[in-house]
Chains A and B, each alone.
Chain A
Amino acid sequence: MGSLLFSYTRTNARSICTLLSHSRPLVFLHPSVRSPVDTGAPRVRCSSTRERNKFPGSYRNSGTKWKDFPSREKPPSSVFEAGTAKRTAELLKRKEGKHLAEGPEEPRRPKENDIPSRPLTAAEWKNRKESAGAPQRFEVKMMEKMLAAGSAIDVAQSLLGYVATETGTVSYELLLRYLTLCVHGNHQAEVFDLYDIMRHRFKTLDTGAYSLFIKGFSRTERWRECLLLLESTKKVVTPSPRNYGDAIWGAVQHGESTTAWELYEEMVGTGLSPNQETWQTLFDSGFSGQGNESKLQSILLHMRDNQIYPGEALAKSIRAWFESLPGNRWEGSWATVETSVCRSCRARLESIQLSEEEYRQLKDRVMSDVIQGRDVFTKTTPQELESFMSFVKKRPPFDVVIDGLNVANTSSKGNQAKTLLAVVSELASQGLRVLVLGRKHMLKNSRSWDRSHMVLIQQKADCFFTENISEDDPFLLYAALHSGNHCRFVSRDLMRDHKACLPDSSARRLFFKWQRGHQLVLNNFLPGQRIRFQEIPSYDTIVQTHESSWHIPYDVEGLERCSYEVPKQWLCLRRKY
């Protein structure tokens, strides 16, 4: 408890009161006191303060962690954590109860008796065709059904034989379906035959056929022809990452590491994002040697730069590769992270705070792209922007910026102004400088916007009210960014539409990082209850390295992750001495 620091008597008395009433250790620092962990962000009291105090590693003892919640409805520690959106959706569905009683839809399967189990003669096929519903596309439909059921190719061959005798020709479409069947069934000799037939019969092939041949050839000793096929695809369209992936797989299987890497670099050079399987292939390939080591590590850096998280299978491959490295022994383990410390190796992870340069960049981008955009008038007016800028400039930096309307609407029960007042006075009582953003209609006395509450809010905090048709979120972002790195903002909005205003992905990633580090999300709140915010992670969830260690967050298989969520499982790799 040595970390309790009080600067003002006012705060002192209040804090003691809270201490008494909650009888649990609390840590909060005045803004003037810089905490050693992050770069001076004032601690806003979060629901997880208790966990922060704990020595990392003592997690198992805290069995009573969520004592006051029913176990299945334990609140997520962050909206940005993987699976939260799914869980929320399920919770809502459960509340819905019998309204959504119907089970998951059964996928339509082709009837088993549709597809013959043995090769048929021409006469038998003819019978089937005549009894079928749509005789025009009978062959193609039948071939598709076989593909879906994964039946043996001799049945398909007998169908082709029938078609050939009946019409004297086999259409390209049918050949393509048959090719798909062969490639999926891994019938290499048939693929070669088909390649020959189609090459001779048709001047060029379509992209689908090229992809299939690349896939088919990559498994055989004729894999080098993949490269030729890839070249012919390139003449008309950009090959897909899967095409490259198949070709790389072929090269890797035949021990041609240079070709594989050339292909990989070409793919990344054209701006394509490689598939996870391709990376897995490269990691599994086990090419040893100094050159490859740095190349594989560059893949990890690529993931870091583009904020890509490997899947579980790829993570296993990465771990296996590191552990198989000769000489310097690497040790991997699956870990979680608590309060910015890896549970497995006790290393401190990268901070979520942006660097000076990044911060300045983000501020400019938000101003130019989110607020002004193509037309200032879409979100605000120049006059309003001007007055807001001077408003922000005149005041000292804020500690917390509140999205008034969002916070006021958090609780469905109770007066909106009252809810806002509760949040504002809670934050103000922690000695924080608060800015409330809202719209002008809030000032008009009404049932939900009681004037007396609004007056109290204006006493406790600085307020800025925009026009009713202006958007207040961009102002919120700007005010928070302008106030500096320590400033946080309170809103339940995920800000996805504002993130989408940023034109390039690097700016969007920067924004997301800043958002995760600075957004305070109010947990479900009822009037009269204590105000709890969700935990803000102090570390960044991204592939990261530190001299003798790698920390790689990965997606757990079977857990759905939304685009705005980050995984919570980590692969910890460190060098043994």
Chain B
Amino acid sequence: MKLLKPQFLSVVWRPALAGRRGGWLQRPRGPPAPCRALSASWGLRKEASQPSGGSAEGLDLGAWKAVARSEARGGASPEAGGQEGEPSPLQASRELVEMWRQAGKLVPEHLAEDELRAFGELPTKSARKKYLKYLAIKEGHKKARKEKKQHRASERAAEISSRDPETEEEPSGGRLRNTFLLQFWQRSVDALYNWRAAQAMQFGQPLVFDMSYDQHMSRREVENTVSQLLECEGWNRRSADPFHLYFCHLRPGSAYLQELARRYGPAWERLLVTATEQPHVDLFPRDRLVYLTADSPHILRAFDHNKVYIVGAMVDRSIQTGLSLANAKRLKLATARLPLDEYLQWEIGAKNLTLDQVMRILLTMKDTGKWEEALRFVPSRKHDGFFEAQRQTQQCGRSGASFNKQRTFVRQEAFQPRARAAFKGSKSGETASRAKTKKSWWEED
């Protein structure tokens, strides 16, 4: 492979290298340069150990090392001081994270002091990696949001500056417009919502969130739960006929309360919900209580306006089955689950829904009493449409017994293979394909 002669190469390479890195950078075989002494020992060693090296190939394969080393010298001065003392564990883990970032792993760019401490306290390597990944994703979202904001601000600034001359006159014209309403501010909307919520506090149907699960959840899970609770409260406030929300079992000093206070801020004190330390069984007569849990054997057929429904305020990222059912059993309460299987062709995912989804389903049921409408809030990725959709295409009557019969027929057809799959356990592949043929049959219909 002696295609290129060294002399020729030196012509090709030297300008490129010299131009970038200054005169000190030399090929090992080149004429000695003034700065050579700095890397002499290494250059010599390399030449000795790898005589074949680059020259045999006609290419200088070791040149990059000089470049890499030169940077070592550049960064040597801070590094010399750093290696004197033993770095503290926190400092060491910060450095580790930095090196992981340089190695191309998914870790955040900046780590706050408390995040670093939380990182150090994690017991296993995989837990640490997961935490860093979570922080990195969070950081990425934050950065994207910031960029978007900046982008929008600059766009707006450009827009304003471009139409500056004409807008001088416009506001004066606009201000004099004849209107029977002042601008309808959000403030007024809030007042309306608060009025409704206050009404609900007096006369509304209670809906209880059971907040007794804080020992069963990790910090992340509690944070997620509280996010969902915030959303629940928001949906409830905006609905036409809100529930009277109860946060029961809310012990002072519990993780829930801390997180709620943090998220709501001063608004937490003014919130139109009943937050109480008392358990729900003390507030309401037992026979009115119904605990909603996905593990329940009973199906919620219809929404009862006289019942008090209880929802467990819990996010379960680990596997803790039957926790809320156990709670209901202990208190000897009636339980129920949403009729998901009855109305939806379930595909994937757990049957437990997020709190805000349950909230919206209940609100819709309260308003309309129609499951078809309420179950629209089940995430669409989890199911493959409503059973009643097929019913409508089959032109069957929409009332009474025939309607029901039709539905059960549809259910049996669709569910038999699946039921058998659960029964036999390991035949999932077979039945899945069978179910698929069934599904295509439905679609064609």
Contact = CB atoms under 8 A, between A and B. Distances in A.
A164 B63 contact: yes
A433 to B, nearest CB: 30
A154 B57 contact: yes
B322 A378 contact: yes
A288 interface: no
B42 interface: yes
Contacts of B13: 122, 165
Interface in A203-254: 203-209, 235-238, 240
Interface size band for A: 35 or more
Nearest to B12: A121
B67 A206 contact: no
B164 interface: no
Contacts of A236: 92-93, 96
Contact of A168 (B20, B75, B429): B20
Interface of A: 88-89, 92-93, 95-96, 99-100, 118-119, 121-122, 140, 154, 157-158, 160-161, 163-165, 168-173, 175-176, 189, 193, 196-197, 200-209, 235-238, 240, 375, 377-379, 381, 409, 412, 468-469
Q: Chain B's interface: helix, strand, loop or mixed, by majority? A: helix
A189 B48 CA distance: 11
A454 to B, nearest CB: 20
Interface residues of B, number: 61
Contacts of B327: 377
A204 B125 CA distance: 18
B439 to A, nearest CB: 14
Nearest to A187: B50
Interface in B66-125: 67-69, 71-73, 75-76, 78-79, 82-83, 89, 92-93, 95-96, 99-100, 102-105, 125
Interface string B199-221: 00000000000000000000000
A204 B75 CA distance: 13
16 contacts: A93-B429, A99-B430, A157-B64, A158-B59, A161-B59, A169-B68, A193-B46, A200-B72, A201-B68, A202-B99, A203-B83, A204-B96, A205-B99, A206-B105, A235-B89, A236-B92
Given A96-B433, A207-B96, A168 B326 contact: no
Given A206-B100, A236-B92, 16 more contacts: A89-B426, A99-B429, A118-B57, A121-B12, A161-B61, A164-B67, A165-B16, A175-B68, A197-B65, A200-B69, A200-B73, A202-B102, A204-B96, A209-B103, A240-B125, A375-B326
A119 B57 contact: yes
A140 B104 CA distance: 10
Contacts of A89: 426
Interface of B: 1, 12-13, 16-17, 20-21, 42, 46, 49-50, 54, 57, 59-65, 67-69, 71-73, 75-76, 78-79, 82-83, 89, 92-93, 95-96, 99-100, 102-105, 125, 128, 297, 321-323, 325-327, 329-330, 423-424, 426-427, 429-430, 433
Across chains A and B, which 6 residue pairs bring their CB atoms closest together, nearest first? A200-B72, A206-B99, A377-B326, A164-B67, A164-B64, A157-B61
B246 to A, nearest CB: 23
B204 to A, nearest CB: 31
A381 B329 contact: yes
A442 to B, nearest CB: 15
Most buried by B among A89, A164, A379: A164
A95 B327 CA distance: 44
Nearest to B423: A409
Contacts of B104: 140, 173, 176
A196 B430 CA distance: 58
Contact of A88 (B128, B329, B426): B426
Given A168-B20, A171-B102, A237 B68 contact: no
Given A171-B102, A176-B103, A154 B68 contact: no
Contacts of A206: 96, 99-100, 102-103, 105
A145 B54 CA distance: 22
